[in-house]
Amino acid sequence: MSSEYFTGANNPRLSIRDSGRDEHRTLNPLDRQKIYARDKGKCQVCGKDLELFEIQIGHKKAWPSDEKTIVQNSVVLCYKHYRVQGNLSLLELKEKLGFSGEKEKKKKKR
């Protein structure tokens, strides 16, 4: 195997925003693990238990102004909820999907 494949991939200072507002930001594996551990391996929308390899990284706020906040702003999501997040904040996403967090008062009745 050629090691050239990895050239640049282990640069910890790899640009996070090299393609503007691309949601596929660069998190190194350690950051992923940190986020996974902090969020206890659960989707922050539905609470589903996830394995490290299957987590998706969503965001609390749509676009943090400071790149240093990137880990703090990142949250574990399952694939399903990652796909629907778009540029909603975590809170907006939960509200949209009916996961209004602690309060269950917002149940829709018809």
Residues near Zn ion (CB under 5 A): 43, 45-46, 48, 78, 81
Amino acid sitting at position 29: P
Give every CB contact of residue 62 below 8 A, 6+ residues apart in sequence: 87, 88, 89
Structure tokens at 107: 């149940």
Residue nearest to Zn ion (CB): 43
Say which DSSP state 74 is in.
E
| Rounded least distance, CB 90 to Zn ion, Å | 11
Q: What are phi and psi of 35, to 5 degrees?
A: -65, -40
Q: How far is the CB of 26 from Zn ion (least distance, A)?
A: 23
Query: How far is 29 from 2, CA to CA, in rounded Å?
Result: 21
Considering the complex, state which of residue 18 and residue 104 has its C-beta at the smaller distance from Zn ion. Answer: 104
**Considering beta carbons, is residue 31 or 39 the nearer one to Zn ion?**
39
| Minimum CB–partner distance for residue 53 and Zn ion (Å) | 16
Give the shortest CB-87-to-Zn ion separation in angstroms: 18
Q: Are 94 and 100 in contact (CB under 8 A)?
A: yes
